[in-house]
Amino acid sequence: MTQVNPPSTNATAFRILIALSVIHCMNDALQSVVSASYPLIKDELGLSFAQIGMITLVYQFAASVFQPFVGLFFDKRPVAWSLPIGMSFTLIGLISLAFAHTLPWVLSAVFLVGVGSSITHPEASRITSLASGGRRGLAQSVFQVGGNLGSSLGPLLVALLVAPYGRENIGYLSILAFIAILVMMPISRWYSRYLIRVKREEAVSKVAVERPLPLKQTILSIVILLILIFSKYVYTASLSSYYTFYLIEKFGVTIQQSQLYLFVYLVAMAIGTFLGGPVGDKIGRKYVIWGSILGAAPFTLLMPHVGLLWTVVLSFFIGLIISSAFPAILVYAQELLPYKLGLISGLFFGLAFGIAGIASAVLGKLADVYGIEAVYHVCAFMPLLGLVTWFLPDLKHPRK
């Protein structure tokens, strides 16, 4: 399958990349407000845990399952103003969530917020690739760092601005969504000029973009990448959701100390995310994937058997190593299907988001039945799935 080649750019559009990282931060911060607000919603509306689970299901469906379909739609029908459209869904959803006083109203609100994420993630990732100037790994790393920061800010916003004053204050967070729309305006104008340039080049020359691999090998490679995403996000879900409980139960640390140790892990995640893309640009995506997934295995296997100091040290190296995988995996997948940037971005962002949510629930059940330490004994083996990287072809010099 072929498609008209988009115009080449010689320079990386760093202003656009920084703006995309900022809106990724804002989007993920606002998305994480939904789960952070569950205790308030449960108490005010008198909901059961089953009903909270229903809210999560609707939100996860809208925020993750929709992403590849949205990406595919915009692959076929590019819309320059897709980012403001997506954030508008989030803005309306947040205002609705602030004042929802029935379960159906809450479900509708979180659905709108989820749809906003389903539009923003694949479209922002697509534009990130287009603005990279060929340095796709670096561009995706800059983009991902914004998302990592945003995910950690959402609960903080709820703790400071919403919990002390009431759920209605979620409405004030819609101001952040409005600011994000303003930041998106110059990005959309840049993208509009890009699309116009594509049409002009189509009229002059019909240079085709082809898959670097045959169809069967492309499908196999994407399946392998999805397995790697599964292994990464199951393990990171164990640390993001239950690391503090593990430290408190096994070592008797205080809540404040456990949060500090979690911060060490999150800092390592941010550093690793930023480094993974540029390193992949230099040495090839496959080698970064090898090192980031399988390379974390010795540390994850050792961590359940050491004391507090080495647990913190190992968690830093685990976060640093394993977080470098996603930018490399995403860019590798985009290079497999260079004319389906939206579909690939939506598929991998959606899967990552969905796996993290499902894994947290399953690991919570495992911790209830067998204890929190059992979670880390089981999850320690997940990075060994990185062995399937052996079957990935090397795309550092793609076949023409």
Q: Has residue 397 been placed in a domain? A: no
Count of domains for the chain: 2
- The answer on 159 and 228 residing in a single domain is no
- The answer on 205 and 164 residing in a single domain is yes
- The answer on 225 and 83 residing in a single domain is no
Q: Has residue 400 been placed in a domain? A: no
Backbone angles phi, psi at 4, to 5 degrees: -60, 130
Please, are residues 135 and 275 in contact by the beta-carbon 8 Å criterion?
Answer: no
The pLDDT-based confidence of 298 (bands split at 50, 70, 90) is very high
In the chain, the percentage of residues whose pLDDT exceeds 70 is 92
Of the candidates 140, 152, 196, the one whose C-alpha atom is nearest the C-alpha of residue 344 is: 140
| Sign of the torsion formed by the C-alpha atoms of 53, 262, 354 and 148 | positive
- The answer on 235 and 151 residing in a single domain is no
What's the one-letter identity of residue 42? K
Q: Has residue 399 been placed in a domain? A: no
Mean pLDDT, residues 311-329 taken together: 88
Q: Mean pLDDT, the chain, as a whole number?
A: 83
- The answer on 262 and 131 residing in a single domain is no
Question: Among 149, 183, 210, which residue terminates a domain?
Answer: 210
- The answer on 234 and 371 residing in a single domain is yes
Q: Has residue 396 been placed in a domain? A: no
Mean pLDDT, residues 145-166 taken together: 77
Q: Has residue 249 been placed in a domain? A: yes
State how far the Cα of 187 lies from the Cα of 131, in Å rounded to an integer: 10
The pLDDT-based confidence of 308 (bands split at 50, 70, 90) is very high
Please, are residues 160 and 288 in contact by the beta-carbon 8 Å criterion?
Answer: no
Of the candidates 104, 106, 67, the one whose C-alpha atom is nearest the C-alpha of residue 86 is: 67
pLDDT at position 38 is 77
User: Residue 192: how many CA atoms within 13 Å on its side-chain side?
Assistant: 11
Question: Among 188, 210, 232, which residue terminates a domain?
Answer: 210
Of the candidates 59, 157, 161, 163, the one whose C-alpha atom is nearest the C-alpha of residue 111 is: 59
Q: What is the pLDDT of residues 183-218, one digit of tens each?
A: 999 999 999 998 888 777 765 655 556 667 788 888
State how far the Cα of 291 lies from the Cα of 126, in Å rounded to an integer: 26
Of the candidates 170, 127, 143, 166, the one whose C-alpha atom is nearest the C-alpha of residue 31 is: 170
Highest mean pLDDT among 119-128, 232-241, 339-348 belongs to: 119-128
Is residue 396 scored above 60 in pLDDT? no
Please, are residues 304 and 254 in contact by the beta-carbon 8 Å criterion?
Answer: no
Is residue 3 scored above 60 in pLDDT? no
Q: Has residue 72 been placed in a domain? A: yes
Of the candidates 393, 358, 87, 372, the one whose C-alpha atom is nearest the C-alpha of residue 230 is: 358
- The answer on 199 and 99 residing in a single domain is yes
Mean pLDDT, residues 33-45 taken together: 80
Query: What pTM value is reported for the model?
Result: 0.73
pLDDT at position 317 is 93
Q: Strand 208-210 relative to strand 2-4: parallel, antiparallel, unpaired?
A: antiparallel
- The answer on 298 and 151 residing in a single domain is no
Domain containing residue 125: CATH number: 1.20.1250.20
- E strands within the chain? 2-4, 208-210
State how far the Cα of 297 lies from the Cα of 291, in Å rounded to an integer: 10
What's the one-letter identity of residue 119? I
State how far the Cα of 133 lies from the Cα of 112, in Å rounded to an integer: 33
The full DSSP string for 360-376 is HHHHHHHHHHH-HHHHH
State how far the Cα of 139 lies from the Cα of 306, in Å rounded to an integer: 37
Burial 62-87 (b: 16+ CB within 10 A, else e): bbbbbbbbbbbbbbeebebbbbbbbb
pLDDT at position 4 is 39
pLDDT at position 1 is 41
- The answer on 283 and 179 residing in a single domain is no
pLDDT at position 93 is 94
Please, are residues 98 and 171 in contact by the beta-carbon 8 Å criterion?
Answer: yes
Mean pLDDT, residues 332-353 taken together: 80
Question: Among 210, 239, 259, which residue terminates a domain?
Answer: 210
Running DSSP on this structure, what letter comes out for residue 213? Answer: S
Please give the residue range of the domain that contains residue 259: 215-391
Q: Has residue 50 been placed in a domain? A: yes
pLDDT at position 203 is 58
**Helix crossing, 341-370 with 103-130: angle to 10°?**
130
- The answer on 288 and 249 residing in a single domain is yes
The pLDDT-based confidence of 49 (bands split at 50, 70, 90) is low
- The answer on 81 and 55 residing in a single domain is yes
- The answer on 222 and 198 residing in a single domain is no
Q: Has residue 202 been placed in a domain? A: yes
